Each structure stands twice: as structure tokens, then as C-alpha cells.
Amino acid sequence: MSATGIFSLFPKLSEKALKPLGIFGGTFDPVHFGHLRLAEEAIGQLALAGVRWIPAGQPAHRGQPGTSARQRLDMVRLAVAGNPRFFVDAGEIEAAGPSYTVPTLQRLRAELGGEQPLVLLLGADAFAGLESWRHWRELFALAHIAVSHRPGFPVAATALPPVLGAEFATRQRDGAAALGATPAGGIVTFAMTQLAISATQIRQLHAAGRSARYLLPDDALDYIQTHSLYRNS
Ligand code: ATP
């Protein structure tokens, strides 16, 4: 066998290294099937190597949750257990102070290097509010953004605030292949199975003594019941 023949048996190192990694942050108070399908469908549609789940410690964009950061982390761990492409990153929970995405992505860059394509996964509602994020324009030097459809939140440049809409129009890329071509800077959208589930709805159901079963994994639901969470939301 020629030298070329031997090497062709192995994937090129560059190809292996360039498979994009999904980054999925959120309050996850609690994690639910909307989150899980978003991450699972992103892997399939965007050809991701996997998804790193990063629960926010003190979310910067909302009031402090009634549950502890540790409890939200526990529930995410229970929900993703058994999926070999899902990884949990407790970095924001272990850090002191509010959680911001730019420093988190800088930490990941330091860990994974400048070449690794990173893809920040956002629901359409979160993307529409991007301008309120601290140093939001720096995100594009650190990662791509993939915006999933979510019931009630259109994904179109015209439906966004003007500055963000202009950024979206400039950075929009066609599909998964573009994400592997550069480490950061593009925006793609993807249509996922539409699930009108929210953590707010689950907290409200619990507070009202009603069932949230089948909106989130049973292990997470058991955890909520065992720890008497969301009784007074
Ligand atoms: P809350 O109701 O407390 O605001 P949430 O259900 O929106 O919570 P978050 O933890 O705030 O959950 O969301 C984390 C990420 O998941 C965000 O990018 C959000 O847009 C996305 N997301 C949450 N639920 C869905 C859903 N049902 N479909 C698509 N994306 C979702």
C-alpha cells in the first residue's frame, strides 16, 4: 500500500479538529424537553461534535431564580445523563458573580484553542434580546450563533431590533457547512420540532399543584418533587 493509501484510512487531523462544538447556556430553571430537543436537533442539523451545557450561575438578564444554582445544575446533569454527545460545564456555577457569555466563551477559547469552531445555541427569543447582553458584539469574534425557531418568536431580520437585524443580515450563513469553515462569526438558523414548553410554565404548574409530567424528563421531575421546588413560585 502506498503512503497515500495508508493515510487515507485515517480522517485528516484538520477535519477531525474542525467539527463544530455547540455551546448551550441557560438558566434551566428547570431544564425541559424544549431544551433537550433544541440541543439534540442542533447536533443533527448543524453536524456538531456535541453540545456543552452551561447552566448560568447568577443569570445576568433576569432576577435570581428561587432554586439554587446547584439544584439547577443537578437537574441538567440528570436530564442529559446517558447522552454521549451532551457534556455539562459547571464553570459559570462555580464562578463568583454574575454569569456573562463573553467571559465564558473566552474561557472555552483558552481551553480549546483558536481554531475550534464554537456555536452558541440560542432560542429565537434569546437571540431577539441579544443587544441587552454585555459586550454582545464581542460574541462574534468568539463563536458562531445558531438560532432555533421557538413558538411565538419569528426569526427574521425584519422582526429584530434594527442594529441586531443589520448584524443578522450581514452575518447570516447558509447551513451547517459554513460553521465548520471558520471558528466564529456567522449566524445560522435552524427549524426544530416546535415545542411550546417553557420553564415558567413548569414553575407555574408546580406552584398551582398541577402536573408538569411529560414536559421534562422524569428524573428532573422526581428531583423537583423530592426537593419541594417551585411550590411558591
Ligand atoms: P423561562 O420560562 O424561565 O424564561 P426558558 O424555558 O425560556 O425559561 P431558559 O433556560 O431561559 O428556558 O432557556 C435557555 C435557552 O433555551 C434559551 O436560548 C431559550 O431561547 C431556549 N429555549 C427554551 N425553551 C425553548 C423551547 N421550548 N423551544 C426552543 N428554544 C427554547
Distance 198 CA to ligand 1 centre (A): 6
Q: 85: closest CA among 120, 119, 42? A: 42
Q: Which residue minimizes the CA distance to atom 17 of ligand 1? A: 123
Is the CB of residue 48 less than 8 Å from the CB of residue 119?
Answer: yes
The structure's pTM equals: 0.91
Per-residue confidence in pLDDT tens, the chain, 233 aa: 444 444 444 444 444 557 999 999 999 999 999 999 999 999 999 999 999 999 999 876 666 667 999 999 999 999 999 999 999 999 999 998 888 999 999 999 999 999 999 999 999 999 999 999 999 999 999 999 999 998 888 888 888 999 999 999 999 998 788 999 999 999 999 999 999 999 999 999 999 999 999 999 999 999 999 999 998 75
72 touches ligand 1 (CB under 6 Å): no
Work out which ligand 1 atom sits closest to the CA atom of 149: 29
The whole-angstrom distance between residue 6's C-alpha and the CA centroid of its chain comes to 39
Q: Which residue minimizes the CA distance to atom 27 of ligand 1? A: 34
